[in-house]
Structure formats: structure tokens, C-alpha cells
Amino acid sequence: MKKRAIVPDELQSQHTDWKMSPGLACGDFLFLTGMTGAESDGSLSNDPETQIRTAFRKVGLVLAKDGLSYSALVDMTTYHVGLLDHLELFKSIRAEYVEEPYPSWTAIEVSGFVREDAIIEIKAIASRMPKAN
């Protein structure tokens, strides 16, 4: 099966420095690398809302680069440092992005990320097939 890297300009360093694809189109699916709330310049806000919104924005960059929107999401796994400290905030922000039928979702508490002080990472899978009626 043919695979194709999806690399938005803003996320080029993931591809060149880390040797990973922000998104990998394979068959009918687009697999997204986990996105933290760090900005492309490496800065990271101490504000949980800013981190969460930045992570969702980066997911959106990958989707858009492949001609998709958040409605294409079929599965989401989120990793959280201090899950219960920001779960309600995360749920409210997530609700701004997902559409019915809602993607499956698993939230996991972790002790940390490569990027110190990051509190969230979003990993997702999107369907590249047209929506069913």
C-alpha cells in the first residue's frame, strides 16, 4: 500500500529533525503524529487553554494539508499530564472541533513528555473517505 507524508510548512521540523511525518496518508486513512501545545518556534505557554488550543490547531494544519477538516476525525487518543486538573477545559475545547458522529476518544494520564512542561498531546486518525450520509 502506498504511503504519503503530509507535512505542513509549520511542522517541517518534525519531518527533518525528528524523522517523522506529522501525518501519514495510507489507504483510506490519515494517521497523525501526536501534537503537543508547543509552538513551531519551540515556545510553550504555561496556560493550559493555550496549550490545548495550539495542539488542536496543529492537528488542523495536518488535516488541511491533506484536504480534510476536523469532521474527518474517526479516532483520537489524548495524553495528559495532570488529566483531572484540565479535563473539563479539554472537553469544552474539544467540543468546538469534533462533529457528530463523534470520533472515538481515549484520554490517558502520563507522567511527562519529551517537551518539559507540556501538559497535552493529541494523536488522531482521520478518514480520507467521503462522509457517509
Per residue in 64-82, pLDDT tens? Answer: 999 999 999 999 999 999 9
Q: pTM (2 decimals)?
A: 0.93
Question: Mean pLDDT, the chain, as a whole number?
Answer: 94
By DSSP bridging, strand 23-26 and strand 29-36 are antiparallel
Please give the grid coordinates belonging to residue 19: 524523522
Residues 6+ apart with CB under 8 A from 72: 30, 63, 126, 127, 128
Question: Quick check: helix, strand or coil at residue 98?
Answer: coil
Mean of pLDDT values over 20-34: 96
CATH number for the segment(s) 3-127: 3.30.1330.40
